[in-house]
A and B are shown apart, each in its own frame.
Chain A
Amino acid sequence: MSTSVQLEIFEGPLDLLLHLIKKNEVSITDIPIATITEQYLATLELMQNFSLDVAGEFLVMAATLIHIKSRMLLPAGDDEGDEDDGIDPHEELVRRLLEYQRYKEAAAELEQRDLLTRDVFVRSPTPTEEVGPRGFREVSVFELLGALKRIIDRLPKETVHEIALDKITMREKMTFLLETLRARGSVLFESLFVEIKSRVEVVVTFLAMLELVKVRAIRIFQEQMTGPIMIEAAAQMDEAAEQAAIDETGESQHGA
Chain B
Amino acid sequence: MKRRNKQRLTKPGKANMEREDVKSILESLLLVADGPQSVQRFSEVLDGTNKDIIENSLRELQSEFETQNRGIRLVEVAGGYQLRTPKANADWVKKFLGGRPARMGKATLETLAIIAYRQPITRAEIEAIRGVDVDGVIATLLERNLIRAVARKDVPGRPFLYGTTAEFLQLFNLQDLSQLPTLKEMEEISLPEISGDTISLDHLEEN
Chain A positions near chain B (C-beta within 8 angstroms): 11-15, 28-30, 55, 57, 61, 76, 80, 86-88, 90-92, 94-96, 98-107, 109-111, 113-125, 132, 134, 216, 219, 235-236
Contact = CB atoms under 8 A, between A and B. Distances in A.
8 contacts: A11-B130, A12-B131, A13-B132, A57-B132, A98-B186, A103-B183, A104-B110, A117-B102
B200 A114 contact: no
Nearest to A138: B143
B109 interface: yes
Given A102-B183, A106-B183, A120 B200 contact: no
Contacts, number: 144
A235 B201 contact: no
A90 B201 contact: yes
Given A106-B183, A115-B173, A235-B142, 19 more contacts: A11-B107, A57-B132, A88-B202, A90-B201, A94-B194, A96-B129, A98-B186, A99-B129, A101-B189, A102-B189, A103-B114, A106-B181, A109-B181, A110-B109, A113-B173, A114-B87, A116-B173, A120-B87, A236-B149
A125 B114 CA distance: 30
Nearest to A13: B131
B194 A29 contact: yes
B72 to A, nearest CB: 9
Contact of B117 (A13, A106, A114): A106
A94 B97 CA distance: 46
A147 to B, nearest CB: 21
B154 interface: no
Contacts of A104: 110, 113
Interface stretch (B17-25, B44-52, B58-66, B77-85): B77-85
A15 B107 CA distance: 10
A99 B106 CA distance: 17
A121 B84 contact: yes
Given A101-B189, A110-B172, A216-B139, A95 B197 contact: yes
A121 B88 CA distance: 11
A120 B84 contact: yes
B90 A99 contact: no
Contact of B113 (A90, A103, A115): A103
Contacts of B132: 11-14, 55, 57
Interface in B101-143: 101-102, 104, 106-107, 109-110, 112-114, 116-117, 129-133, 139, 142-143
B86 interface: yes
Contact of A119 (B90, B131, B186, B197): B90
A32 B109 CA distance: 30
A28 B184 CA distance: 15
B66 to A, nearest CB: 14
Nearest to A114: B173
A104 B131 CA distance: 13
Interface in B140-193: 142-145, 148-149, 167, 170-174, 180-181, 183-184, 186, 189-191
